[in-house]
């Protein structure tokens, strides 16, 4: 038995012709016939050093070779379930007989070199033997995966704590575990010319609209990209307005939420290597909901949803209104508050807009740094950022206390709806700039712009602002308000689900 990682010297390439112009060999024929030639051709296709070939003979002296990717293969399983049985094998060289001999549960026959190469790169060892009519690949890959854990972006105090991981199969297993029905369809496709990333389009047959499923597949198939590192790369393809700031694709890291969305008639997308699952069609109201809302009383859930909306609106509008009021309309402040503010800002050298922009900038920098920095310097940054910078800046008279309070509240408020943070932080800045230049009327106009844009945006035929615009009364039972479970016996009408009723 020998293990080698480089093609043998002087190898002759089967079906290879010399391309005089480019000086490279191309394979015209892709068929598998002879062991030695196939092996050479395969190694030619996969010249990387981590692609290994293990040669051995069966009990009747037939030559076998196993080609595998070193880091991706479970060698224990390969030895136990594939190599040991084959070393004891005596019989015909037919692929069917060889496949039966192998005790691994996942064995596929491969008829072309390209297929063989794809299987090896996917982590499935391929078997070649003397006198073969077809080769075989065995599913014994062992990809290093992170354990299933609670996602840091969606922590709950009650409810399931599992989160998606980077492994595709684990993720599909987590979905399948919750939806044990034949109607759950997981259609896979491969995207990325070089990454060959597996993508799963998940939906419940009979519930998800066929038009949506077909449209999702069509849009995904149209993606032309060489490497697809994460599912977020697909959001542009799935959006009707790809350059828009507005979010048009739902995201989740939790399989329970993912399955609940599938059960409402949405289509889910899982990408290999990404713990973020995508769901379409997306409604803006989704991001005001939390998994926990369904595990607590409806009254509490309604209250928290309204609080989230209040926090978000305050976070976006408070800095802007504060600036607009200071610059253009002092009447907006109650008189006592006005006196307090006047006392605080008396000696500030910066204009109100510049002061607020500066404090917001500091907050954004602190926020960015605290996400990226190592955890052991977290405490130091908190001290430096919150205490030293904040307090010293106020004492030194660079910024006023109200500005710090407003920005702090705004910063916290945005995180009440964490999934919209990308959009809301930009919107807050836009509001602030508008308020500083045009005043309160600017805020009104920009809000009108945003409203008009939101209500006219649709994706997969579903309006983003539904169930509020257009108003769908039935769906309002689980939008900002949360009715009790018995009232939610119908699936959301806005999603155009094929099966309307989910509970009797």
Partner 1 sequence: MKLSSRQLFFFLAAVAPVGKLVLMPSQLAALSKNDLLFPAALNLLLQAGAVFCALLFARRGQTLYACLRERCGTVFAKIAVCVFALFLWLAAFVPLLEQKLLVQNIFYDTLPSYIAFAPMFVFSAYLCAKPLEACGRTWDILAPMAAIGLLGILLLAVGKADYGALLPVGAAGAGGFARGALGVADRFFDGALVLAMAGRFEYRRGMAWKGLLCYLAGGAAVLFFLATFYGLFGEIAVFQVFGFTRISKYFSGVTVLGRIDFLFIFALAFAMVFYTVLPLQAGVTLAREALAPRNPLFAPALACAVNAAALIGVLAVNFMMTRVMQVFSGPLVWVFPVFSLAVPALSLLPRRRRHAP
- Contact residues for partner 1, defined by CB under 8 A: 328-335, 337, 438-442, 444-445, 447-449, 451-452, 455-456, 463, 465, 468-471
Instruction: Determine the 3-state secondary structure of 269 from DSSP.
Output: strand
**In the 3-class helix/strand/coil scheme, how is 351-388 assigned residue by residue?**
CHHHHHHHHHHHHHHHHHHHHHCCHHHHHHHHHHHHHH
Would you say 160 or 439 has its CB closer to partner 1? 439
End-to-end Cα spacing for the chain: 65
The sign of the dihedral angle between the CA atoms of 409, 296, 419, 450 is: negative
Closest approach, Cβ 447 to partner 1, in A, equals 7
From the CB of 502, what's the least distance to partner 1, in Å?
A: 25
**Is 426 or 451 the residue whose CB approaches partner 1 more closely?**
451
Q: HSE (CB half, 13 Å, CA atoms) of 171?
A: 30
CB of 434 to partner 1, least distance (A): 8
Smallest gap from residue 336 Cβ to partner 1 (A) = 9
CB of 35 or CB of 325, closer to partner 1 = 325
Q: Which is nearer to partner 1, 27 or 438 (CB)?
A: 438
Q: Among residues 9 and 335, whose Cβ is nearest to partner 1? A: 335
To the nearest whole angstrom, how small is the minimum distance from the Cβ of residue 407 to partner 1? 21
Q: Minimum distance between the CB of residue 334 and partner 1, rounded to whole angstroms? A: 3
Smaller CB separation from partner 1, 381 or 445: 445
Smallest gap from Cβ 450 to partner 1, in A, equals 11
Cα 328 from Cα 175, distance rounded (Å): 54
Least Å from the CB of residue 430 to partner 1 = 13
C-beta closer to partner 1: residue 129 or 460: 460
Instruction: Please classify residue 452 by burial: count the beta carbons closer than 10 Å to its beta carbon, then call 0-12 exposed, 13-18 middle and 19+ buried.
Output: exposed
Identity of the residue, 436 or 442, whose beta carbon is nearer to partner 1 in the bound complex: 442
CB 356 within 8 Å of CB 407: yes
The DSSP H or E segment spanning 51 is strand 51-57
Interatomic CA distance for residues 166 and 335, integer angstroms: 56
User: Smaller CB distance to partner 1: residue 258 or 321?
Assistant: 321
Give 52: exposed, middle or buried? Use CB within 10 Å, 0-12, 13-18, 19+.
middle
Q: Does residue 43 contact residue 7 with C-beta atoms inside 8 Å?
A: yes
CA distances to 176, 225, 250 from 229, rounded to whole Å, are 24, 10, 18
CA dist 461 and 212 (Å) reads: 8
How far, in Å, CA of 88 to CA of 122, rounded?
Answer: 27
Residue 93: both structure tokens together: 């060289």
Q: Name 108's Cβ contacts closer than 8 Å, sequence gap at least 6.
A: 119, 124, 136, 137, 139
**Minimal distance, residue 497 CB to partner 1, in Å:** 20
CA dist 250 and 490 (Å) reads: 21
- Judged by beta carbon, residue 110 or residue 285, the one nearer partner 1 is 285
Between 333 and 483, name the residue whose CB sits nearer to partner 1: 333
Q: Decide: 191 and 197 in contact? Cβ < 8 Å.
A: yes
Residue 143 token pair: 């990809």
How far is it, in rounded angstroms, from Cα 92 to Cα 130? 10
| Shorter beta-carbon distance to partner 1: residue 408 or 469 | 469
Helix (H) or strand (E) holding 204, with range, is strand 197-204
Considering the complex, state which of residue 367 and residue 447 has its C-beta at the smaller distance from partner 1: 447
Give the shortest CB-328-to-partner 1 separation in angstroms: 5
| Least distance to partner 1, CB of residue 440, Å | 5
**CB of residue 444 vs partner 1: minimum separation in angstroms?**
6
CA distance 397 to 342: 14
d(CA 408, CA 415): 11
Q: Check if the beta carbon of residue 154 is closer than 8 Å to that of residue 287.
A: no
Residue 100 CB, nearest distance to partner 1 (Å)?
60
> Strand ranges (DSSP E) for 246-390?
250-252, 267-271, 277-280
Structure tokens at 394: 């106020």
């Amino acid at each position: 038995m020998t293990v080698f990682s480089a093609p043998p010297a002087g190898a002759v390439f089967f079906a290879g012709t010399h391309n005089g112009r480019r000086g490279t060999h191309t394979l015209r024929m892709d068929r598998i016939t002879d062991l030695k030639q196939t092996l050479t051709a395969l190694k030619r296709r996969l010249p990387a050093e981590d692609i290994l070939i293990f040669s051995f003979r069966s009990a009747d002296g037939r030559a076998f070779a196993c080609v595998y990717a070193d880091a991706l293969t479970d060698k224990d399983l390969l030895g136990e379930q594939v190599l040991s049985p084959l070393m004891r094998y005596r019989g015909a060289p037919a692929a069917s007989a060889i496949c039966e001999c192998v005790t691994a549960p996942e064995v596929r026959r491969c008829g072309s070199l390209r297929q063989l190469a794809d299987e090896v790169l996917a982590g499935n060892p391929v078997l070649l033997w003397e006198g073969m009519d077809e080769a075989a690949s065995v599913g014994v890959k062992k990809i290093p995966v992170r354990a299933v854990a609670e996602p840091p972006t969606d922590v709950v105090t009650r409810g399931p704590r599992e989160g998606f991981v980077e492994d595709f199969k684990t993720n599909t297993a987590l979905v399948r575990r919750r939806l044990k029905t034949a109607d759950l369809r997981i259609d896979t496709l491969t995207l990325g010319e070089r990454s060959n990333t597996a993508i799963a389009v998940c939906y419940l047959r009979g519930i998800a609209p066929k038009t949506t499923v077909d449209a999702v597949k069509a849009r995904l198939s149209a993606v032309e990209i060489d490497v697809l590192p994460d599912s977020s790369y697909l959001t542009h393809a799935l959006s009707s307005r790809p350059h828009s700031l507005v979010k048009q694709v739902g995201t989740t890291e939790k399989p329970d939420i993912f399955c609940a969305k599938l059960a409402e008639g949405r289509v889910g997308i899982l990408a290999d290597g990404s713990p973020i699952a995508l769901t379409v069609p997306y409604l803006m109201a989704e991001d005001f909901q939390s998994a926990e809302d369904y595990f607590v009383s409806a009254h509490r859930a309604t209250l928290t949803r309204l609080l989230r909306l209040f926090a978000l609106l305050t976070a976006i509008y408070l800095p802007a209104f504060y600036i607009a009021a200071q610059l253009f309309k002092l009447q907006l402040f109650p008189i006592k508050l006005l006196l307090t503010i006047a006392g605080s800002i008396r000696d500030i050298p910066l204009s109100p807009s510049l002061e607020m922009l500066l404090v917001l900038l500091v907050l954004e920098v602190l926020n960015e740094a605290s996400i990226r920095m190592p955890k052991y310097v977290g405490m130091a940054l908190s001290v430096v950022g919150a205490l030293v910078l904040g307090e010293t800046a106020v004492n030194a008279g660079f910024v006023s206390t109200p500005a710090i309070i407003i920005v702090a509240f705004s910063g916290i408020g945005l995180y009440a709806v964490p999934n919209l943070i990308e959009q809301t932080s930009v919107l807050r800045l836009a509001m602030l700039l508008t308020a500083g230049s045009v005043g309160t009327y600017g805020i009104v106009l920009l809000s009108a712009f945003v409203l008009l844009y939101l209500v006219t945006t649709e994706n997969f035929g579903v309006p983003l602002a539904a169930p509020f615009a257009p108003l769908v009364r039935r769906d309002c039972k689980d939008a900002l308000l949360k009715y009790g479970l018995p009232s939610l016996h119908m699936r959301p009408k806005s999603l155009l689900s094929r099966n309307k009723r989910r509970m009797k």
